[in-house]
Structure 1
Amino acid sequence: MLNQFVIVGCLKEKPELKETANKIKYANITMIVKRNFKNTIGEYEYDEIVCTLWRGIAENCIDICEENSLIAIKGRIQTSTYVSEENKTYLNYEFIAEKVSFLNEA
């Protein structure tokens, strides 16, 4: 079985390093990715994809990346469920980065 994704896009904003209660460092980043087709009025639309980076990957991204940095992420999709007070079940998808490539370095 294979659970893998690849995203190439620009960072919406400079990432911010955070810590869990157990002192594990992480960052959530938002990638802006242009769709490869035009809409009905002839313009390209963009998707915003939130990815989670852990430990060293998060720290490296914080040190190197700025707003609009072009990066590529390879990772896996992790799912979880949540049951609301109204007893409705929601499925959540989280994009977990396993490798980040910095594409606009000199």
Structure 2
Amino acid sequence: MLRRLREVTDPVTFSFDGCPVTAERGDTLAAALLAGGIDTIRHSVVGDQPRAPYCLMGVCFECLVTVDGVQNRQSCLMEVRDGMVVASQRGGRQVLQGNR
């Protein structure tokens, strides 16, 4: 498990799958989730295997989450915000059907 090297001095709180998580202002979402002890943030499209942040620089797409209702956000490229609502993803994104 990962842990912070320093105490959180400027905290923000967000939710992940309905549970509160406290992070340092300026953390990326992926880093905040890992530091909060969350090691599975999505499940793969093929095989439904657990996935976690891997490269932490926007290349691998293993850190996809739903943020404030928007799917497929790369958590390693997003800064945490107070009150943010984050949800894990399972499989591929859902396509909304519009009127044709």
The TM-score normalised by the length of structure 2 is 0.26
